[in-house]
Amino acid sequence: MKYVYELHKTMIANNLILVYEGEFTQDITKSILAMAERNMDAIGELGGVKRKVFSVMVECLQNIVKHSEELNEKDEDGLKNNAIFMLGKQINEYIVTSGNPIRNAAIPSVQAKIERVNSLDKDGLKDLYKEIIKNTEISDKGGAGLGFVDMARKSGEKLGYSFEPINDEYSFFALKIIVPRSE
């Protein structure tokens, strides 16, 4: 039972106010958003900040629901097809973090989209957003990179990311977005 206390201390040390690990569905996404809303309402968060955080959260959660790969067998650490979502609150910012398995073959495309987004300033992001909307046929799964552009525009910050190998076929994609607490 000591792990419960250790987890609690880790959450406090990292200022985590919401953590969910497991299967992600549209219903679970709605529940996560409702919990975050109650938490932000309880501390009296400003409306504009709350809208930006929600927008980023929705994009992260949709990425997990639409793009997370299901692993058929557990890896050496016992991970299966689970993803994770975390919301942290610092004095001056919220930190939205997500992680999910993706195919190794998808890494170059995902990395290129994020690097392109991170290379642009505010006006460049606005132009890229318009370009994607105008020139790209977006499938039900998305995939055009619009979510990354939208998260960068809402947060005003660069997107943090990493890929941790799971096995020869999959890696764990982690995404971190910082949303300033000032409007």
Task: Kindly tell me if the per-residue pLDDT of 161 is higher than 60.
Answer: yes
Task: Kindly tell me if the per-residue pLDDT of 140 is higher than 60.
Answer: no
Task: Kindly tell me if the per-residue pLDDT of 121 is higher than 90.
Answer: yes
The structural domains of the chain, ordered by start, are 2-180 (3.30.565.10)
Looking at the chain, the whole-number percentage of residues with pLDDT higher than 70 is: 89
Q: What is the Cα–Cα distance from 109 to 102, expressed in whole angstroms? A: 11
Residue among 13, 67, 18 nearest 42 (CA): 18
Reduced to 3 states (helix: H, G, I; strand: E, B; else coil), residue 51 is: helix
Whole-prediction pTM:
0.87
The pLDDT, as a whole number, for residue 141 is: 60
Pairing type for strands 170-180 and 160-165 reads: antiparallel
> What's the pLDDT band for 138 if we cut at 50, 70, 90?
low
Two tokens, residue 63: 């990425």
Contact 174, 164 (CB under 8 A): yes
pLDDT tens-digit readout, 37-47 = 999 999 899 89
pLDDT tens-digit readout, 75-108 = 455 545 589 999 999 999 999 999 999 999 999 9
